[in-house]
Amino acid sequence: MKRREFIGGLGGGAALAACTPQTEQQGVSSSAERFSWKLVTTWLPNFPGLGTGVNTLARYIQEMSAGRMEITIYAAGELVPAFEVFDAVSQGSAEMGHGAAYYWRGKSEAAQFFATIPFGMNAHEQNAWLYYGGGLELWREVYEPFNLMPFPAGNTGVQMGGWFNRPIDSMSDLHGLKMRIPGIGGEVLRRAGGTPVNLPLSEIFTALQTGSIDATEWVSPYNDVAIGLHQAARYYYYPGWQEPAPTLECIINRDAWNSLPEDLQAIVRVACQATTLDMISEFMARNATALAQLQADENVEIRKFPDDVLTGLKELTYSVVDELAVDDPLFARVWDSAREFMAISQPWQAISEQAYLATQASS
Ligand code: CA
């Protein structure tokens, strides 16, 4: 097959055409106009994996556009506070933002599906749903009233269940447990008899070390070791039922998006995809290294949640999600889409990734 026929046959011609000299023939508009955009984030500057992921995204866009797009990054609090990123981009005071959709449940409960929900999809499934299962179209619909264009731009992969100052042997051990755990996961803990609290990153370590909280989830070994959580509690539980695949997002003000020529739109779109691949790869590599460090630490016990605890938490999760669906038709539609996708992805996962990984574990 000739190269141009091959590119045309992919259907995603716009994305690839930017890399070819035949952009005019492919119908992709271009211009010499230069764009200088502000990118506001919910992360601390250069925070490992997340803040550095934003740096990667900006660098990809600047390099691929040969400087026609210049991106200035503002970490949390530098231009707007972390939790005002959505509004800042919606209103156009910044053209672009980076964060996670579950931070915006106050705008739309349905947004949470585009980050992660407890006992939801893993990263493979989440990307498959977004790109090939209708998820991205729903995400655009949810954000459209806010004048925002969303793109997946990063994923941490499955997180850890968190750090606990006492063992969790049964559901009754969650009674009275005061834990930093946001979102739907926090509501699930509350229904299990615990007390969810939300703390900013800067306060988590001290709260756990001083005993003002009994437990916290944060991310996974790479990020958790970076803020010293292994020095504040003994028991490190898995799996991260509360966040199986947090997708990070790049949000763009729609007026700013529409002002870009098509070739720059393609560059931004592909830079976001490339950032997802880069971040998931970085987390895999660095989590593995950090886990080895924790396994060698005699002050840390790495434990799996008992099966009946996971089953109990899963039942509570679905009761919370089903109640949200009763109150919010858009949430219900997105949940239907996600649930239908999981119903077909899980049987495939079971005989592919899961079955293969089982052979590795037993060898
Ligand atoms: Ca987390």
Q: Considering only 25-29, 152-156, 255-259, 342-346, which range has the smallest mean pLDDT?
A: 25-29
Q: Which of the following CATH numbers is that of domain 34-156+245-284: 1.20.1440.120, 3.40.190.170, 3.30.70.580, 3.40.190.10?
A: 3.40.190.170
Per-residue model confidence (pLDDT) at position 362: 67
> Which residue's structure tokens are 């100052």?
165
- pLDDT tens digits, one per residue of 270-311: 999 999 999 999 999 999 999 999 999 999 999 999 999 999
CA of 99 to the centre of ligand 1 (A): 13
Q: Using CA atoms, how far apart are residues 234 and 298, in angstroms rounded to an integer?
A: 9
CA of 220 to the centre of ligand 1 (A): 8
| CA dihedral sign, ordered 74, 79, 81, 85 | negative
* Nearest C-alpha neighbor of 42 from the set 6, 1, 7, 87: 87
Strand-pair partners of 98 = 41, 250
CA of 154 to the centre of ligand 1 (A): 14
Per-residue model confidence (pLDDT) at position 27: 72
Q: How confident is the model at residue 28 (pLDDT cuts 50, 70, 90)?
A: confident
Q: Using CA atoms, how far apart are residues 57 and 270, in angstroms rounded to an integer?
A: 10
CA of 219 to the centre of ligand 1 (A): 5
Torsion of CA 116, 117, 121, 126, to 10 degrees: -30
Beta strands 96-100 and 35-41 are parallel
Structure tokens at 119: 């006992």
Is the CB of residue 345 less than 8 Å from the CB of residue 129? yes
Per-residue model confidence (pLDDT) at position 277: 97
Per-residue model confidence (pLDDT) at position 200: 76
Span 7-30, mean pLDDT? 50
Q: State the chain's mean pLDDT as an integer.
A: 92
CA of 286 to the centre of ligand 1 (A): 17
Q: Is 119 exposed, middle or buried (0-12, 13-18, 19+ CB in 10 A)?
A: buried
Per-residue model confidence (pLDDT) at position 53: 96
Q: Does the pLDDT of residue 56 top 80, yes or no? A: yes
Q: Which amino acid is at 123?
A: A
Per-residue model confidence (pLDDT) at position 3: 44
Structure tokens at 159: 């997180």
Q: Does the pLDDT of residue 21 top 80, yes or no? A: no
CA 44 from chain center: how many Å?
16
Q: Does the pLDDT of residue 318 top 50, yes or no? A: yes
Q: Which of helix, strand or coil describes residue 193?
A: coil
Q: How confident is the model at residue 29 (pLDDT cuts 50, 70, 90)?
A: confident
CA of 162 to the centre of ligand 1 (A): 8
CA of 205 to the centre of ligand 1 (A): 14
Supply the angle between the helices 123-132 and 329-351 in degrees, to the nearest 10.
120
- Residue of 26 and 186 predicted with greater confidence: 186
Q: Does the pLDDT of residue 169 top 70, yes or no? A: yes
Per-residue model confidence (pLDDT) at position 363: 57
CA of 187 to the centre of ligand 1 (A): 14
Per-residue model confidence (pLDDT) at position 32: 86
* Nearest C-alpha neighbor of 236 from the set 298, 159, 307, 163: 163
Structure tokens at 157: 């992969």
- pLDDT tens digits, one per residue of 332-345: 999 999 999 999 99
CA of 210 to the centre of ligand 1 (A): 21
- Per domain, the residue ranges of the chain are 34-156+245-284
Span 171-185, mean pLDDT? 96
Per-residue model confidence (pLDDT) at position 334: 98
- What's the predicted TM-score (pTM) here? 0.89
CA of 235 to the centre of ligand 1 (A): 16
Q: Within 10 Å of residue 281's Cβ, how many Cβ atoms?
A: 11
Q: Does the pLDDT of residue 19 top 70, yes or no? A: no
Q: Within 10 Å of residue 2's Cβ, how many Cβ atoms?
A: 7
